A and B are shown apart, each in its own frame.
Chain A
């Protein structure tokens, strides 16, 4: 029975096709088929209900799929001076070291101060390293981290997000501008260390998710760590080593980064491209125009993709099926029959008469 059950697959496929067919009929009969919401409806919802200060963030939401973050991460890998091979490569490539002029080496021995411009960029990094080593600013310690965030950001009023002006300021300067001003990207290339706090917080996430390890099953995690030799109880120092040198996992991340970049290109790139180039309203009008321009943008996008509209509606109705199945108990046979014949049928009959009367009156 278990091995010959493949024949039932056709039965299930038929059931699902039936479901999708009925949901499509519901969409056509009651939700306007592939038509987008009318302009009247959109305008009413947008002007009366929708908070207008959220328009720009919502329009930019799809940009989160844009692989800019992956580019940033890649930049961080490229300029990772914790990888000595890369360091030497860049020293030669930029002309700092040139074997055709051996005197340069001697020059740098005496004039080592030329590196101070390099050090200057990493000054904050070293400050944090020093403070961390003496235990004051241990950012890997979550309690201390939150304490410092609270002390210097929230209590100092810098990140007071309840202040609407400050909120809009931060939205523009940390969310909007980096997309449209590539200079900021160059800044991040050289000052990649600002992302370390981000990485720090996501370290556990990467560890558990890039490896496909289920965090909710710690036994598997421990087994995996021991099995791969990452943890070896004969060398307890390994634990401390990995806490501070977690970057050894970067080669593993690198492979996955490529994968994610490819996927986000495939998924993310067409979206903003369509959003910008297939519209009658240029994208900059979002800034200088009113909310109506954004509505026109959305509506034209929906008109351009009516198949997506139809799919969204059908999926919502299919969700109703699941909700009904999950929330209602199975009715008895006589209950079903009385419900259909004594409740629904009279209502439908009455509706037919009412509708016919109204149609005749009009």
Chain B
């Protein structure tokens, strides 16, 4: 909602489009990221970061769940709106109406 308001309040159609895209992207990666974290919570049985860390004393979670780490990494890239997922900041594409 804040992202939408930010895009709208700038009184520019490109900023409005960027805000819409940011909001949609936020929804998309946030759901996936939450599901991944639910996986880890199921395994560790705790939401504390210290417990999660101590649980990996012998085997890091990367080794049983490499695919989950890949998805989580993609989500972090989208969360920081960098790399291939920097659509909200891609002025060229917004102007070109892609």
Contact = CB atoms under 8 A, between A and B. Distances in A.
B32 A344 contact: yes
Contacts of A331: 84-85, 87
Contacts of B67: 347, 351
Interface string B35-69: 11111101100000100110011111110010111
A330 B87 contact: yes
Given A26-B73, A333-B21, A347-B67, A328 B83 contact: yes
A311 interface: no
Interface stretch (A14-22, A77-85, A152-160, A168-176): A14-22
Contacts of A26: 69, 72-73, 76
A356 B25 CA distance: 27
Instruction: Tell me what chain B mostly uses at the interface: helix, strand, loop, or mixed.
Output: helix
Contacts of B62: 30-31
Size band of the A side of the interface? 35 or more
Nearest to A36: B57
Size band of the B side of the interface? 35 or more
A348 interface: yes
B83 A321 contact: yes
A72 interface: no
B65 A333 contact: no
B67 to A, nearest CB: 7
Interface string B72-86: 111111111011111
A340 to B, nearest CB: 4
B80 to A, nearest CB: 5
Given A333-B87, A340-B29, A345-B31, A32 B57 contact: yes
B58 A351 contact: no
Nearest to A334: B98
A25 B83 CA distance: 18
Nearest to A322: B83
A352 B31 CA distance: 13
A317 B62 CA distance: 12
A332 B90 CA distance: 10
A331 B90 CA distance: 10
B76 A359 contact: no
B71 interface: yes
Contact of B53 (A32, A40, A336, A349): A32
A34 B56 CA distance: 10
B60 A30 contact: yes
Given A26-B69, A38-B59, A336 B52 contact: no
A30 B72 contact: yes
Listed from nearest, the 7 A-B pairs whose CB atoms lie closest are: A33-B53, A340-B28, A348-B35, A32-B56, A325-B83, A22-B76, A328-B84
